Amino acid sequence: MLMIQNPVLRGFNPDPSFLRVGEDYYLATSTFEWFPAGPIYHSRDLVHWRLLGHAITRSSQLLLQGVSDSAGVWAPSLSYRDGRFYLIYSIVRTRIGPYKDVHNYLVTAPDISGPWSEPIYLNSSGFDPSLYHDDDGRSWLVNMQWDFRKDRPRFAGIVLQEYSVNECRLIGPISNILKKPQLIEGPNLYKRDGWYYLMLAEGGTGWNHGISMARSRSLTGPYEPDPQPLILTSRKNPGLTLQKAGHGELVQTPAGEWYLAHLCSRPVYPERRCTLGRETAIQQCVWSADGWLRLATGGTDPQVQVPAPIGVKPHSWPATPLRDDFNAPTLDKHFSTLRVPVDESWLSLSQRPGWLRLLGRESLQSVFEQSLVAQRAQAFNITAETCLEFEPVCFTQMAGLICWYDTQTHYYLRVSFDEQLGKNIAIIVCDNGVQIEPAPPLAIGAWRRIFMRVEIAEDQLRFAASPDGENWQYIGPMLDASKLSDDYGSGMHFTGSFVGLCCQDLGGTRKAADFDYFELRQT
């Protein structure tokens, strides 16, 4: 029997939106401060998935400069009607304190691969919007409403308003269709046997997360709650492999089976920190005799192995190369950048063919213009390697290999310049906003090329360097990889760890750093 092995999208891929069109299945996930946004994954069997591309790739669709860590694009939602794909997304500009400056937009495309349109503004009342297309031809926007007032619950209800496809705007009255005392997010509407079903993410996106449902004979309510409080959760079972289970969407297969995509996390021990962030898993569901959605296995626990749809044939995709020699004219789609898209002003694959050139810009604490490009960590055991040519002439110039969570927490093996040492290599650690250098720098003036490597094993991380790619030496001590997680540091965090390349020039001269390749092995 063909089995789905969870998570199906490993590493930072939270808040999945699930869509089937014909024989094809699609997933879209959140990207927060990372560019491009709106990643779209494709499968033919629910088992094998590939990154098809991104819907939000241009500055005209998305401006993220200045947004804080874990703000930006939250919970995109895919839908389809009459030969057109729709993707709704929130841009969260303020996430700390009582306010949420959030704006919701819609882009569309005649094909899932694009081209995707310029954004249509929808509203700013809350986050996690989705678009429901009713069988009478009308379309409806649903989102949670945020309440910033003192001594009020932050959740002010699920609001519904009609979207006019012809006018490309919201029309008509706004209805508040559901209120509950606890925090409710991620609303999605479905219709089955004359009932409107409202699927909800409940309890926040951490260890207390879960999915609940309500239903009504009328689109605008009233909605009755499911007599089973939660359909899916791992809150009562800390021993489950898949933790933080919640925030999901449904699809029905051509044969009539039902599957639920949801976010989850896998902690590393003993710290119980989720270094890969929030990932995406799929569960099989059934409908009870009285018309409520239930996991096919019974209970509410997310399963690691789930049967694939009956009769589906395996449909694998070509493996992603482990090594990028930067010979293509454009950057590989598996790379992401912080807050701004790639352009020749700071990243070039043509100025030195066969090399990735980064022009140094702002510091690693900047939320505006960083020259940083990275890939998601998708396994607990990782080896990443690169080769750098870089000749700094001032201490303000740095380049190297980075293990990144956000501006406040990262590990950086960097090459720089010192008046006494000349060109040197050292580690910079940013630990919840406190910067330290755990070992003295090593002079490497005779190294024309600097080979750099990081090895991560569960909660242990160590850097190494070499002048020739053969004779390696460790740089600095063993470091705590578990700090690169949602669960470390002050405040709430929502992303995941990355490994990549970066360059800084704090003097503003845009010193160039050239990288020969980037190799990422994950097991």
Q: Which residues contact 485 (CB under 8 A, 6 or more apart)?
A: 268, 273, 274, 275, 277, 405, 493, 497
- C-alpha–C-alpha distance, residues 281 and 303, integer Å: 9
Does 373 lie in the same domain as 277? no
Which of 307, 338, 370 terminates a domain? The answer is: 307
Name the catalytic one among 15, 324, 505, 514. 15
Domains in the chain, number: 2
Any domain includes 370: yes
Any domain includes 315: no
Of residues 157, 120, 121, the one with CA closest to residue 142? 157
Which of 244, 274, 307 terminates a domain? The answer is: 307
Question: Catalytic annotation on 15?
Answer: yes
What is the per-residue pLDDT across 402-421, written as a single tens digit (0 to 9) for each?
A: 999 999 999 999 999 999 99
Does 335 lie in the same domain as 287? no
Q: How many CB atoms neighbour CB 329 within 10 A? A: 7
Whole-number pLDDT of residue 499? 98
Does 339 lie in the same domain as 269? no
CATH number at residue 460: 2.60.120.200
Does 349 lie in the same domain as 479? yes
Does 387 lie in the same domain as 288? no
Whole-number pLDDT of residue 96? 85
Any domain includes 318: no
Whole-number pLDDT of residue 220? 97
CATH number at residue 82: 2.115.10.20
Q: Are 308 and 46 in contact (CB under 8 A)?
A: yes
Whole-number pLDDT of residue 97? 87
Does 282 lie in the same domain as 143? yes
Does 127 lie in the same domain as 65? yes
Farthest CA pair distance, the chain: 78
What is the per-residue pLDDT across 98-112, written as a single tens digit (0 to 9) for each?
A: 999 999 999 999 999
Whole-number pLDDT of residue 181? 85
Does 298 lie in the same domain as 361? no
Does 341 lie in the same domain as 295? no
* Range of the structural domain that residue 396 is part of: 323-522
What is the per-residue pLDDT across 466-500, written as a single tens digit (0 to 9) for each?
A: 999 999 999 999 999 999 999 999 888 999 999 99
Of residues 455, 318, 300, 305, the one with CA closest to residue 380? 455
Name the catalytic one among 185, 324, 486, 505. 185
Any domain includes 263: yes
Whole-number pLDDT of residue 180? 87
Does 340 lie in the same domain as 285? no
> What angle is formed at CA 469 by the lines to CA 463 and CA 470, rounded to 5 degrees?
100
- Relative to beta strand 397-406, strand 409-418 is antiparallel
Chain centroid, CA 141 distance in Å: 23
Which of 256, 281, 307 terminates a domain? The answer is: 307
Does 402 lie in the same domain as 270? no
Question: Catalytic annotation on 185?
Answer: yes
Does 284 lie in the same domain as 152? yes
Any domain includes 389: yes
pLDDT tens, per residue, the chain with 523 residues:
899 999 999 999 999 999 999 999 999 999 999 999 999 999 999 999 999 999 999 999 999 999 999 999 999 999 999 999 999 999 999 888 899 999 999 999 999 999 999 999 999 999 999 999 999 999 999 999 999 999 899 999 999 999 999 999 999 999 999 998 888 999 999 999 999 999 999 999 999 999 999 999 999 999 999 999 999 999 999 999 999 999 999 999 999 999 999 999 999 999 999 999 999 999 999 999 999 999 999 999 999 999 999 999 999 999 999 999 999 999 999 999 999 999 999 999 999 999 999 999 999 999 999 999 999 999 999 999 999 999 999 999 999 999 999 999 999 999 999 999 999 999 999 999 999 999 999 999 999 999 999 999 999 999 999 999 999 999 999 999 999 999 999 888 999 999 999 999 999 999 999 999 999 999 9
Q: Which residues contact 509 (CB under 8 A, 6 or more apart)?
A: 360, 397
